[in-house]
Amino acid sequence: MTLPWNAYEAPHIVTRDREGYSDDLGTLPEGSDIDCTLARRTLDDVADWVVVGSGAAGATVACTLAEAGESVVIVEEGPWVRTREFKRDFFPALKQLWRGMGTNVAHGRSIIPYMQGRCVGGTTVINSAIAWRTPEDILAAWTERLGVDSLEKSLDPHFTFLEDALSVRPVSDQALGENSAIFGLGAARLGIESHVIHRYDTGCDASSACGNGCRTAKKQSMAITFVPRTLRAGGRIYHSAEVQRVEMLGRRAVAVLATMKGPGGPHVLRVHARKGVIVAASTVQSPNILRRSGVRSAHLGEHFQAHPGVSVAARFDQDVQLDFGSTQGFNSLELLKTHGIKLESLHLPPELAIARLPGLGAPLMDRFADYGRLAVSAVVIKSEAEGRVSERFGGDSVRFSLTKRDMERTLVGLELTTKILFAAGAREVYPGAHGMPSVLHSIDEASKWREGPTDTRAYNMVMTHLFGATRMAQRAQDGVVGTDFSVHDCKGLYVVDSGVFPTNIGVNPQHTIMALARHAAYGLLSEPSR
Ligand SMILES: Cc1cc2nc3c(=O)[nH]c(=O)nc-3n(C[C@H](O)[C@H](O)[C@H](O)COP(=O)(O)OP(=O)(O)OC[C@H]3O[C@@H](n4cnc5c(N)ncnc54)[C@H](O)[C@@H]3O)c2cc1C
Ligand code: SF4
């Protein structure tokens, strides 16, 4: 079997910025960018604030503090892979940028992979860059639950700042791609609310490869925005340095201890924090760092929540070219308020798209030969289920099972997605769920989802939005951090990543994470010595 065209020679536009990229080696202030794979001995440093993790939360809080004149050190476990090193192929990205090469799984009723970045810039380097303000009803509920001033008002200026700084804009017509256009067309024909996605983007080149790192620096990840800005404002970053624990003096956080695997290592990195330690290592890693640091709370690692997602593939008569377009371009909140479901188009490279096709051997290869005419859309579930993050055998462990109600809602989303694809002209839809027919042939057959499986083991799900395992609550008996982001009963120790979300939010979380991190930084600047 030969593919109709060489998937790796798809007609992508690759531009190079003549001025260079903001993460280019040699362009950052001397001594600000420390590669710990080169460390030959124990290192010591000191700063006002030590930030653990350089993803959405860490880079935002670090940049805000550094630009306000505070001295800041970021300690990041992963390597700094520069824009010029990103590859067209997915496999090198998996090895360099994705935590555990994308193989980490949550255990429960079924096994669900959860995806994270492990590099400078964190998950923002591999994500789809979709920017959603927190829904108003969620902010109103959080405001009441936390007993704070209106979060809608407090976060509004931060959202505005972020939208400007990270160039939030709708996907352009040129970058939309046929797959996303199909989603919009099908939704319009059914009279369903849908619209073009807004992203952190300075002019997407439509490579559909956000998961590989953006080779033209159009996606505004933290690695090319707030991390370099932090360094230009006087901060430093130690990368390839895994934080083991926060050193406590009594209940006060005084330093961060990390392991560097340089020549003759491992060596120890110790960064003393004059004002505080800010943990922003994500909702999976932060609870375990706190645990290793001696923090005890009945809520530590509990209330883990997520947006599991499941996708549906379809075959069209016309060219779709799943690997041309912004990675995600169209979405619909039609079912969000009623069913907690968000629908969206999803571009996939051939090596991932094949997993969405039915059959084995020759029939599978025949279908795969039609890669150029495949479309994919996804159902994202605002699950009510809560799981747990802990540490087992020295590694992160996540336990999580969707509830029956979550699954019943998922079926509603799958039925509507199938209808959208048929309404846009699909010849066949591939449900990809055990217990469903392997191929659906008409829009009428979409109703078969009503009798579809409610057992999560029937699906290939993945989780990309994770939160809640260091929940914010006013009182120590209800959560891990207070409304000032400081860990209850500790001094100088803060958590600012998505672990602090009091509840699930239902939309892509990066914008909320960054707005909260900036809000936290403003709080620290106004009252720095707690
Ligand atoms: C494929 C994919 C697509 C996504 N698409 C979108 C999207 O379009 N829009 C959106 O809003 N969200 C999206 N998300 C989710 C979003 O990227 C994350 O929710 C967000 O980046 C989380 O921010 P964070 O700061 O909490 O964690 P991260 O961004 O993951 O950053 C945490 C950082 O901490 C580091 N770290 C962890 N442990 C340690 C340690 N012990 N020592 C030192 N450093 C450590 C990690 O290496 C990492 O760099 C997507 C996620 C994935 C996986
Ligand atoms: S699809 Fe993603 S990786 Fe490709 S150019 Fe656009 S933003 Fe960059």
Number of domains present in the structure of the chain: 2
Residue 54: domain span: 33-80+119-127+132-165+221-301+468-526
Q: Extract the tokens encoding 149.
A: 């001033």
**Looking at residues 480-484, what average pLDDT do you find?**
98
| Per-residue model confidence (pLDDT) at position 2 | 32
The answer, yes or no, to whether any atom of ligand 1 lies below 6 A from the CB of 126, is yes
Atom 7 in ligand 2: residue holding the nearest Cα: 219
Best substitution site from 124, 201, 205 to test ligand 2's pocket, by max atoms within 8 Å of Cβ? 205
**CATH code, domain with 192:** 3.30.410
Check whether residue 203 and residue 188 sit in a common domain.
yes
Whether ligand 1 lies within 6 angstroms of the CB of 269 is answered as no
**Residue 59 and residue 143 in one domain:** yes
Query: Is residue 344 pLDDT above 50, yes or no?
Result: yes
329, 405: one domain: yes
What integer pLDDT is reported at residue 13 of this predicted model? 37
Residue 117 Cα to ligand 1 middle (Å): 6
Pocket test for ligand 2, best of 90, 197, 207 (most atoms within 8 A of CB): 207
112, part of any domain? no
Percent of the chain's residues with pLDDT above 70: 96
What one-character-per-residue DSSP string does 161-206 give?
HHHHHTTEEEPPHHHHHHHHHHHHHHHHHHT---EEPEEEBSS---
Q: Is 10 part of a structural domain of the chain?
A: no
What is the reported pLDDT for 527?
76
Mean pLDDT of 95-104: 96
Specify the ligand 2 atom closest to the Cα of 208: 1
- Show the ligand 2 pocket: residues with CB < 6 angstroms: 201, 204-210, 214, 216, 218-219, 326-327
Instruction: Tell me: pLDDT of 12 over 60.
Output: no
- 344 plus 409 within the same structural domain: yes
What is the distance in A from the centroid of ligand 2 to the CA of 407? 32
Residue 11 placed within a domain:
no
Last residue of a domain, one of 419, 438, 464: 464
> Is 242 touching ligand 1 by the criterion CB < 6 Å?
yes
- pLDDT mean over 326-353: 94
Q: Is 292 part of any domain? A: yes
Shortest-distance Cα residue to atom 5 of ligand 2: 205
Whether residue 259 sits in one domain with residue 177: no
Q: How many whole angstroms from 206 Cα to the centroid of ligand 2?
A: 6
Report yes or no on 4 lying in a domain: no
Question: Same domain for 285 and 190?
Answer: no
Asked if 317 and 189 sit in the same domain, the reply is yes
pLDDT tens track for 18-57: 568 999 988 999 999 999 999 999 999 999 999 999 999 9
What is the number of the ligand 2 atom nearest to the C-alpha of 205? 5
The finding on whether 331 has its CB within 6 A of some atom of ligand 1 is no
Compute the average pLDDT of residues 355-373.
91
- Residue 177: pLDDT band with limits 50, 70, 90: very high
CA–centroid distance, residue 249 to ligand 2 (Å): 46
9 pLDDT more than 60: no
Instruction: Give the pLDDT confidence score for residue 349 in this predicted structure.
Output: 86
Q: How far is the CA of 225 from the centre of ligand 2 (A)?
A: 15
The residue-averaged pLDDT of 409-423 equals: 98
From 464, 490, 518, give the residue that closes a domain: 464
Can you spell out the DSSP letters for 49-72? EEEE--SHHHHHHHHHHHHTT--E
For the cut 60, the answer to whether the pLDDT of residue 218 exceeds it is yes
| 84 C-beta neighbours (distance < 10 Å), count | 13
Residue 21 lies in a domain: no
Average pLDDT, the chain: 94
Say yes or no to pLDDT of 10 above 60: no
CA of 38 from ligand 1 middle (Å) equals 25
Contacts of 229 (CB under 8 A, 6+ apart): 63, 66, 67
State if residue 506 touches ligand 1 by the CB under 6 angstroms criterion: no
The token duo for 79 is: 């390597």
Answer whether residue 72 shows pLDDT above 70: yes
Question: What gap in Å lies between CA 468 and CA 428, rounded to an integer?
Answer: 39
Q: Are residues 330 and 374 in the same domain?
A: yes
- Say what the pLDDT of residue 7 is: 32
Domain contains 489: yes
Ligand 1 center to 356 CA (angstroms): 25
| pLDDT score recorded for residue 18 | 53
Report the atom number in ligand 1 closest to the C-alpha of 243: 42
490: domain CATH number is: 3.50.50.60
182 and 243 co-located in one domain: no
Distance 157 CA to ligand 2 centre (A): 27
CA 232/CA 500 separation, integer angstroms = 29
Average pLDDT value for residue range 167-187: 97
Q: Are 476 and 489 members of one domain?
A: yes
Distances (CA, A) of 163 to 157, 159, 160: 10, 6, 5
Rounded to an integer, the average pLDDT of 330-357 is 93
Residue 4, pLDDT above cutoff 70: no
pLDDT confidence bin for 99, thresholds 50/70/90: very high
Q: Residue 8 pLDDT more than 70?
A: no
Q: What are phi and psi of 289, to 5 degrees?
A: -65, -45
For residue 492, how many C-alpha atoms fall within 13 Å in the half-sphere facing its CB?
21
> What pLDDT does 529 receive?
53
Residue 53 CA to ligand 1 centre (angstroms): 9
What proportion of the chain, given as a percentage, has pLDDT over 90? 91
Which pLDDT value is given to residue 211?
Answer: 96
Looking at residue 26, its pLDDT comes to 87
Cα maximum dimension of the chain: 68
Ligand 2 atom closest to 214 (CA)? 3
Q: Are residues 154 and 191 in the same domain?
A: no
Q: What is the pLDDT of residue 15?
A: 39
Pocket mutation for ligand 2, best pick of 326, 328, 345, 348 (most atoms within 8 Å of C-beta): 326
* Atom 4 of ligand 2, nearest CA residue: 207
User: Helices in 233-379 by DSSP H: which ranges?
Assistant: 282-292, 336-339, 350-353, 361-368
123 & 241 share domain = yes
Give a yes or no: residue 95 inside a domain. Answer: no
Tokens for 273? 């924090």
Residue 11 pLDDT:
36
Contact 512 CB / ligand 1 (< 6 Å): no
Q: 430, 448, 464: which is the final residue of a domain?
A: 464
Report d(CA 70, CA 521) in Å as an integer: 11
Report the separation in Å between the CA atom of 392 and the middle of ligand 2, taken as the mean of its atom positions: 36
